């Protein structure tokens, strides 16, 4: 197991990374999490382990900006498990579920060689293009002709209609 990085939290709320000998921010700690660097945050006053508290602060910042991961209903359900008879069971279930999810994501990345959602996005885009082409061909086969505009906004004109200039008018002999 790799050595844990020690981050000291001072009374002035500043975080000090002992490995690089400088003060860091919560976003720097978030980067450590994203890179899976093992670390522990300790209070300089009483050596209390504050790692969970710092991680919860990072989650709060993440939830406050952008699109939240947890809905209010989900958070309410989680809070209801605190102190209840299923507290330990729920914690075990969540850990197991997250570990399983992370393992499946890792396998997808290894199999596809990239971030799965990026690959799915490209596959979906390609499928939409194929579907649009099939739709155009179907409409042509049904006797419609498509205007020369953008295929995504093409106007469908029945092919048996003639343009107004080609139709005999009332003033012209028929």
Domain boundaries defined on the chain: 1-68, 116-158
pLDDT for residue 152 is more than 80: no
Digit-coded pLDDT (tens) for 2-25? 689 999 999 988 999 999 999 999
pLDDT of residue 140: 72
Q: Which strands, in side-by-side order, build the sheet including 5-9?
A: 22-24, 15-17, 5-9, 39-43
The whole-angstrom separation of Cα 5 and Cα 39 is: 4
Band the pLDDT of 102: cuts 50, 70, 90: confident
**Where do the DSSP E strands lie in the chain?**
5-9, 15-17, 22-24, 39-43, 144-146, 156-158
**% of the chain residues with pLDDT over 90:** 40
Angle between the N-to-C axes of helices 87-112 and 116-141, in degrees from 0 to 180, rounded to the nearest 10:
60
Model-level pTM?
0.60
The whole-angstrom separation of Cα 40 and Cα 116 is: 31
Token pair in block for residue 48: 């209390």
CB atoms within 10 A of CB 66: 7
CA dihedral for 139, 141, 142, 144, sign (positive or negative): positive
Average pLDDT score over residue span 132-140: 75
Give yes or no for a contact between 3 and 10, defined as CB atoms under 8 angstroms apart. Answer: no
Angle between the N-to-C axes of helices 51-64 and 26-34, in degrees from 0 to 180, rounded to the nearest 10:
100
Digit-coded pLDDT (tens) for 34-80? 999 999 999 999 999 999 999 999 999 999 988 899 999 999 999 99
Distances (CA, A) of 75 to 36, 65, 70, 101: 25, 16, 6, 19
Token pair in block for residue 152: 């995504």
């Amino acid at each position: 197991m790799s050595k844990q990085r020690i981050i000291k939290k001072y009374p002035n709320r500043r975080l000090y990374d002992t490995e690089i000998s400088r003060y860091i921010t919560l976003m720097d700690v978030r980067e450590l999490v994203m890179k899976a660097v093992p670390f522990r945050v300790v209070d300089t006053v009483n050596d209390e382990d504050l790692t969970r508290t710092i991680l919860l602060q990072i989650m709060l910042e993440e939830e406050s900006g952008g699109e939240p991961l947890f809905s209010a209903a989900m958070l309410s359900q989680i809070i209801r498990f605190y102190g209840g008879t299923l507290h330990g069971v729920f914690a075990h279930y969540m850990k197991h579920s997250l570990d399983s999810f992370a393992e499946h994501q890792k396998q997808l990345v290894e199999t596809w060689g990239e971030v799965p959602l990026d690959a799915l996005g490209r596959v979906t885009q390609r499928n939409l293009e194929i579907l649009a082409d099939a739709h155009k061909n179907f409409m042509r086969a049904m006797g419609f002709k498509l205007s020369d505009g953008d295929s995504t906004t093409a106007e469908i004109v029945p092919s048996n209609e003639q343009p107004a200039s080609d139709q005999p008018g009332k003033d012209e002999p028929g």
